[in-house]
Chain A
Amino acid sequence: MTATLMRKPAPAAASTGARDSRAAVSALARFEARRLLLSIPVVLAFALYVAWIVWRTLRPSDDYPVLQDADRATQGGPLLVGLVAMLAANQAALRSLRRDTERHFAVLALTPWRRTAAHVLSVVPLALLTAAAVTAQFTWEALKSGAVGRGSVAELLTGPLLVLLFGAIGVLLARLYPSAVAGPLLVVVFLLLFVGGAFPFGGETGPVWLRPVVTTSGVHPFPSDLLGRPAAWHALYLAGLALTAALLAVLVSGGRTRSVRAGLVGVSVLAVLAGVVQTGGVPAATEAARTRASLTPEKDQTCLRRGPSHYCAFPEWTPLVDDWARVAGRVQALAGGSAHERPLLVRQRLEARYGLSGDAALEPATRPDQVTVGTSWGGNRVPEFSMAVAGVLVAGNERRAGELCDGRMVTLMWLSLAWQPDPESVLRNVRLDDSLTGSAVVLSRTEPLTMTAGQTEVVRGLFHRPFQDVAARVKTHWSELTAPGVTTDRAGRLLGVHEEVGLDRCAG
C-alpha cells in the first residue's frame, strides 16, 4: 500500500492545481452564465428580441427579402440584448461587493482575476444564444420562396459579437468603478450615442464605422458586389474590442501574468488595426462597379426570354424573372391592338452612384418598349411595376408615359390595377397621400405620375363595373383610348362610365 503511494509523487499534485483552478473558473462561469440567462432583465430583453424577429419577418412587405440586406437587418435586435447583458454582467460582477461576501471569497483558492475571467466567460452562452436567434432569423428569410441574393457571415457575426462586447464592458466597468449606478449610466451614454444620434460621425463610410452597428438601411437593395461594406473588418474590430475589454478587466483585477499582458497587446493591436482599415471608405473598384451598374447595367446583366419579351436582371435577381413575367403578362393580356403581343424589354436598373442610402429617382427609359424594374419586389413594388408596363403599352415609352396628362391615364391605371384582387385598395396604396378621391401623385420607380380628381373618379367607376365588360371595351376601343389628346371624359364614356368630369390638366 505504502509502495503504491510512493510511486505517485508530488508533480502530479502540481498539475492538478492548475487544472483545478481552470475547472473552478469554468464551474463559476457556468453558474454565473445560468444566473445571467435566468435574470429577469435578460429574459425580458430576449423575449422582446424574439418578438421583434417574428414581427419583422412576418410583415407582408418582407415576402421577397434580399439576403445581402437581410443579413445586416439582424444587427438591431442584439443591440438591445447587448445593453441588457452589460447591465446584468455588471451587476453580477458587483454582487459580492453588494452582499459583502468579498471577504469570504478572499479565503478561497480562486483569485479575484480568475473570478473576473469567469464573469466574462459567463456572457458567452448569451452570445451563443443570440447567434442562434440571428441564424434563425436569417434562415427564415432565406427559406422564403421569394428570397434572392446572398448573405455575409461577417454581417451575421456582428450581433453575437455585440453581446460579447457589451457583456465584457459591463464586467470591466464593475472592476473600474464598483458602483451600482455606473451600469445604468453607461447604458444612458450608449443609448445617446448609438440610438439617440449623438454619435459625432455620420454617413456611410469613414469614422461612422467605429460605431458598434452601422446599418445604413437602403431603400433600394444593391447587388452584393456593390455593397462596399467592410463587414469582415468590422466583425474583427468588434471581436478585438470585446477581447480587449475582457483582458483589461482581468488585468485590472490583478491577473498580471505574462500571457494576459501579451494577449492584451495582441487584441488591442487587432482592434486598432481593424478599426482603422474599416474606415478606409469604399474601394475604387467598387465605386467603378457602382457607376457601371448605374449607367450601363446591360454589361452586368443576364437576360432571359419569357413569352415574346426579354427580362434582363442582375444575376442575383434572375429568380424573380418569372414573377415579373407573370405581372407583365397579366397587364399585356388586358391590352388591345398590337400592344397585346408587343415584345417588351424589361430591364432592372438602380442608381448606385450615391451610396446605399441614396434614394435618387431613375431617369425614365426613352427606348421604345423598355420597362424599368427596381431591385426590390413585393408589396407596393408590384403595382408600381405593372404601372410601368401599362405606361409603356399605352404611351410607347417610359418618358412619354411619365408626361401623360390626358384621358390615356384612365386606360393606364385600369390596365395596371384591374387584374389585382382588390384594385381599389391597391390604388390607395400607390397614391402618395393614400387617398381615393381628388388629385394625387402616383408613385413609380422612375418619374411619378399625376392623376386628376376626374381621372380618379373614372378609374374608380371602372373598378365598380363588370370586369369582362370593361375588358372587352378596352380591346374594342384600344386605338382611340391610346390616341394622344383623348379626354378623360371621352375615355370614360367609351368604357361605360358616364361621370361628369372636369377638363384634363393639358386641356386647360
Chain B
Amino acid sequence: MRSWFARAWSGAALVVPVWRMLPWRALGAAGAVGLLPVALARVSGARPGPLETLVLVRGAVLALALGLAFLLDDPARHTTAPVPARRALRVALRAALVAPVAALWWTAVLLLAPGSGRPPVGDVTLEAATACVLAVAAATVALRHFDEPEPGRGVATTLLAGAVLAPLLLPARWALFVAPADPRWAAAHERWAWVLAGAVVVGAAQLREPLVRRPVLRSPCGTSGPSRTC
C-alpha cells in the first residue's frame, strides 16, 4: 500500500518536468502541417468529395503520427535510466499528457473537414487512434532494442515508409486503406481494430527497462574473464 502510494506520488512529481520535456516543437509542427490542408480546403470553399476529404484527413493523421514518433525522444536518456520512476511510468505519463492535446486536435480536424464529404467519424477515429498508438508503440520498440536516446527520426521514417507502401503492397483481402463507398469498409475497420490491439500489446510488452544495459563499446576479445577468446 505504501509502495503504491510512493509510486503515485513520484508520478505526480514527474508531471511538470515531463510536460516540459515533451517534444512540443515536433508535435506542434506535425499538428500544424496536418491541420493546414484541411483548414485550407474549408476556407477556400472547395467542396471536396468523400474520397478527397478522406485523403486529407488521413494525411492529417499521418502527420500527427509522425510527430508522435518523436514522443519518447529523451536526450538525457542515459542519465534518467537509473531514476526510481520506472520507464513504463515515464512513457505512460508522456502518453497521458499528450493524449488530451491530440484529442483536441483531432476534434478540430473533424470539425474543419467539410460536412458533406466527412467520412464516418467513429471509423476514421479508429484509424487515427491506430496510427497514433502504432507510432508510440514503434517508439517503445526502438527504445527497448536500440541504445539511441532519440529514436524518433528512424521511427518516423519507418512509419512513413509503411504508410506509403501499405496501400500499394497489401493484398486486397488485407486492405486497410479503403474508400467509404467500398463494400470492404466494415471488414477493413475490423482489421484496423486488430492492428490497434496488436500495437497496444506490443507497445506494452516493450515498456520494461531491460535489466542489463547493452554495452556501448564491445571488446573484440569478449571479456577478460575465463571466457576470454583471445
Contact = CB atoms under 8 A, between A and B. Distances in A.
B55 A185 contact: no
A180 B37 contact: no
B55 A196 contact: yes
B33 A185 contact: yes
B152 interface: yes
Interface string B55-87: 110010011001100100000000000000000
Interface in B134-178: 150, 152-153, 156-157, 159-161, 164-165
B161 A180 contact: no
Interface string B82-109: 0000000000000000000000000000
Contacts of B44: 200
A477 B33 CA distance: 73
B112 interface: no
B190 interface: no
Contact of A188 (B23, B41, B62, B153): B62
B188 interface: no
B30 A181 contact: yes
B25 interface: yes
Interface in B19-67: 23, 25-26, 29-30, 33-34, 37, 41, 44, 46, 52, 55-56, 59, 62-63, 66-67
Given A184-B160, A196-B55, A197-B52, A189 B33 contact: yes
Contacts of A295: none
A177 B160 CA distance: 19
21 contacts: A87-B157, A87-B160, A98-B150, A180-B152, A180-B153, A181-B23, A181-B67, A181-B152, A185-B29, A185-B30, A185-B33, A185-B63, A187-B160, A188-B160, A189-B33, A189-B37, A191-B59, A192-B55, A197-B55, A198-B37, A200-B46
A189 B165 CA distance: 17
A44 interface: yes
A184 B156 contact: yes
Q: Provide the main secondary structure of the chain A interface.
A: helix
Given A179-B25, A182-B29, A188 B66 contact: yes
B52 A41 contact: no
Contacts of A98: 150, 153
B90 to A, nearest CB: 21
Interface residues of B, number: 30
Interface residues of A, number: 23
B56 A198 contact: yes
A184 B55 contact: no
Pick from A41, A48, A188, A192 the residue with the most CB of B within 10 Å.
A188
A189 B41 CA distance: 14
Contacts of A198: 37, 41, 52, 55-56, 59
A179 B29 contact: yes
Interface in A159-179: 177, 179
A179 B150 CA distance: 12
Contact of B59 (A80, A179, A180, A188): A188
B216 to A, nearest CB: 15
From A41, A181, A191, name the one whose CB has the most chain B CB atoms within 10 angstroms: A181
B29 A181 contact: yes
Nearest to B48: A198
Contacts of A87: 157, 160
Contacts of B56: 192, 196, 198
A91 interface: yes
Q: Give the top 9 A-B pairs by smallest Cβ distance, nearest first.
A: A181-B26, A180-B153, A196-B55, A192-B59, A184-B156, A185-B33, A184-B66, A188-B63, A184-B160
Given A98-B150, A179-B26, A185 B161 contact: no
A176 to B, nearest CB: 12
A184 B150 CA distance: 16
Interface string B1-28: 0000000000000000000000101100
Contact of B37 (A91, A184, A192): A192
A48 B59 CA distance: 23
A185 B153 CA distance: 12
B35 to A, nearest CB: 12
Contacts of B25: 179, 181
Contacts of A44: 161
B161 A181 contact: no
Contacts of B30: 181, 185
A180 B149 CA distance: 14
A254 B84 CA distance: 47
A91 B29 CA distance: 17
Nearest to B25: A179
Nearest to A91: B153
A314 to B, nearest CB: 36
A44 B162 CA distance: 12
Given A185-B66, A188-B160, 16 more contacts: A41-B161, A98-B150, A180-B70, A180-B150, A181-B66, A181-B156, A184-B156, A185-B33, A188-B33, A188-B66, A192-B37, A192-B55, A192-B59, A198-B37, A198-B56, A198-B59
A153 B134 CA distance: 44
Nearest to A52: B168
A48 to B, nearest CB: 8
Contacts of B59: 188, 191-192, 196, 198
A413 B57 CA distance: 50
Given A192-B37, A198-B56, A180 B26 contact: yes
B70 A181 contact: yes
Contacts of A41: 157, 161
A184 B157 contact: yes
A41 B160 CA distance: 11
A56 to B, nearest CB: 14
A192 B66 CA distance: 15
Which of A185, A187, A200 has the most C-beta atoms of chain B within 10 angstroms of its own C-beta?
A: A185
Which of A41, A177, A180 has the most chain B CB within a 10 Å cutoff?
A180
A49 to B, nearest CB: 12
Which of B44, B55, B159, B165 has the most chain A CB within a 10 Å cutoff? B55
A22 B127 CA distance: 51
Nearest to A100: B75
A98 B70 CA distance: 14
Contacts of A180: 26, 70, 150, 152-153, 156
Contacts of A196: 55-56, 59
A7 to B, nearest CB: 52
A41 B164 CA distance: 13
Contacts of B67: 181, 185
